[in-house]
Structure 1
Amino acid sequence: MVRLFALALLITLLPCLAAETVRIGAEDDWYPYSGTLQGKPVGFAADLVRAAYKQVGVDVELVSLPYARCMKLTEQNLLDGCFDTLRNSLLEKRYRWHKQPLFKGRIDIYARTDHPDKVIRLPDLRGRLIAVTNGYDYGTPFDSDTAMHRDIGNSDLFALRKLVARRVDYALVYDRIANHIGRTQPSLKGRYKSVGTLIEPDIYVSFAPKKTGVERYIRLFDEGLEKLHQTGEYARIEARWR
């Protein structure tokens, strides 16, 4: 009788003992940080988010989405979070944030390979036509400067294609993404180069502003990310995506 009671109690508790799941949007066109391969989210950021939550016993459902839609669904509390976000004053009050950055990126200024060997800085971009990607943030100094003439496209790949085709003067792209595109797109290989660095921002997961339970998911994410650093797992994941 005791055994039967214990078995019945265990069956009742099984749903509670099962690992909970957090649902997070993963940018689908930002490889090697975050992209889609055979319909599944992959990349440095995707691996970090999965690993951080695994450290604290939480399963992750990653949903591949274009970045702008990912952010919109998160703001509407239809997703628990979205990555990869450059945190700034425009987004600060619209989302919730974890403490430690997911990773540090670097946005470089790209020109064609026939560009003079001269370092280009933010003031040099004024009055030039610059390829950028829709929905991306490039830091307050650039984003708030009305003297910047932006050619807005759907992806970093399009930005670099426009650059090589001489439709724009410069393109702003994260360095790892530009390197990946240069390796995998034969028509662009060796046809552009970095001529300067715009910013080196911290990148975050944006969390939903009012979704039920999100405060706990943020706390657990911070805890899991800290464990990744302490155990050396963070460095091992990063090394796989260099």
Structure 2
Amino acid sequence: MLKWLCILVFCCSKLWAGEVITLGAEDDWAPYSYLKPGEKKISGFAPRIITAAFQTQGIDVQFRAVPFTRCLKETLSGELVGCFDIEKNEENQSQYFFHRTPLFSEGLSIFALSSSQPRTVQVADLAGHTVAITNGYTYPPLIMNNAKIKKDASPSDEVQFKKLLAGRAEFALVNTTPAKLLMQKTPAFKNRIVEVGLVNKALFYIGFSKSHPDGARLALIFEQGLHVIHSNGQYAQLEQEFKASLQ
């Protein structure tokens, strides 16, 4: 049944050629989705992949750059048809329509002060400690459902690191690549904060709204577009360009 539905969506997508849609884009998660200072156009790896995939289906995408918590809220309400970048887990997979193929994968790392002479830290070691997280971000249930981990919510990843420096948190949970960029940008972070462990390697998606009339349709169309750019090598090319930009 799913096979025939996907074929039907692929064929019908030709009828929607020239369609323009608007997606919510996280505005502060470099290098995946962010606004450069002084600019209004969203940048990052995710919007490039999304644009390319939808273009294969005759659909143009506009992006509304908003804080991530607002992006999620407006997608759940149906004001937005979709939002990215969402880590899918057992707690949120019933809230959105998710495409099958992920946008990308990214690690979630554990950070601490270098002066604390940290050893390799696992999630179980966080129990009883104050751990900084970013408000509104998606973390694995093994973190969020563990009442022994003293979670300290921050408005951004950067504030997490500032709390480490100020002694207000013992550990910080920040995605690996964004953390490396933060350290490059702020010498104080690079010299005093170190990665001490890895929580997981997560997969990220567009979450399409179950309250928007086009949510289910666009999730299927986007999956078809992702299949095309993976098959024709465009995804690999964009990924190579992205990794080169991080050097």
- TM-score of the two chains, using structure 1 as the length reference: 0.90
Matched, 1:22 2:25: no
Gaps of 5+ in 2: 1-14
Higher helix proportion (structure 1 or 2): 2
Distance apart, 1:18 and its partner CA: 6.2
Q: Per the alignment, in what secondary structure is the counterpart of residue 115 of structure 2?
A: coil
Q: Distance in 2 between matches of 1:193 and 1:187?
A: 11
Distance apart, 1:41 and its partner CA: 0.8
Query: Residues 61 and 90 of structure 1: is their aligned pair in 2 closer, same or farther, counting only changes over 3 Å?
Result: same
Q: Per the alignment, in what secondary structure is the counterpart of residue 111 of structure 2?
A: strand
Q: Per the alignment, in what secondary structure is the counterpart of residue 188 of structure 1?
A: helix
CA contact (8 A) 1:22 1:217 kept: no
Over the aligned positions, Cα root-mean-square deviation in angstroms equals 1.4
Corresponding residue for residue 145 of structure 2? 144
CA contact (8 A) 1:130 1:170 kept: yes
CA contact (8 A) 1:74 1:81 kept: yes
Q: Distance in 2 between matches of 1:206 and 1:58?
A: 17
Distance apart, 1:17 and its partner CA: 7.6
Matched, 1:221 2:239: no
Which sits farther off after the overlay, 204-213 or 173-182?
Answer: 204-213
Corresponding residue for residue 102 of structure 1? 103
CA contact (8 A) 1:137 1:143 kept: no
Cα deviation, 1:86-114, whole Å, max 9, x if unaligned, reads 11222122211111111111000001122
CA contact (8 A) 2:53 2:229 kept: yes
Corresponding residue for residue 231 of structure 2? 230
Corresponding residue for residue 169 of structure 2? 168
Q: Per the alignment, in what secondary structure is the counterpart of residue 190 of structure 2?
A: coil
Which sits farther off after the overlay, 152-161 or 88-97?
Answer: 88-97
Structure exhibiting the larger radius of gyration computed from Cα positions:
1
Gaps of 5+ in 1: 1-15
Name the count of aligned residue pairs: 227
Query: Residues 52 and 171 of structure 1: is their aligned pair in 2 closer, same or farther, counting only changes over 3 Å?
Result: same
| 1:86-101 alignment runs, 5 A limit | 86-101=87-102
Which sits farther off after the overlay, 183-192 or 140-149?
Answer: 183-192
Q: Distance in 1 between matches of 2:110 and 2:214?
A: 40
Q: Distance in 1 between matches of 2:118 and 2:239?
A: 31
Q: Per the alignment, in what secondary structure is the counterpart of residue 223 of structure 2?
A: helix
Distance apart, 1:117 and its partner CA: 4.9
| 1:42-121 alignment runs, 5 A limit | 42-121=43-122
1:216 alignment partner AA = R
Q: Distance in 1 between matches of 2:24 and 2:16?
A: 25
**Structure 1 residue ranges, 4+ long, deviating more than 3 angstroms after superposition:** none
Distance apart, 1:116 and its partner CA: 2.4
Cα deviation, 1:60-98, whole Å, max 9, x if unaligned, reads 011101011000000111111000111122212221111
Distance apart, 1:238 and its partner CA: 1.7
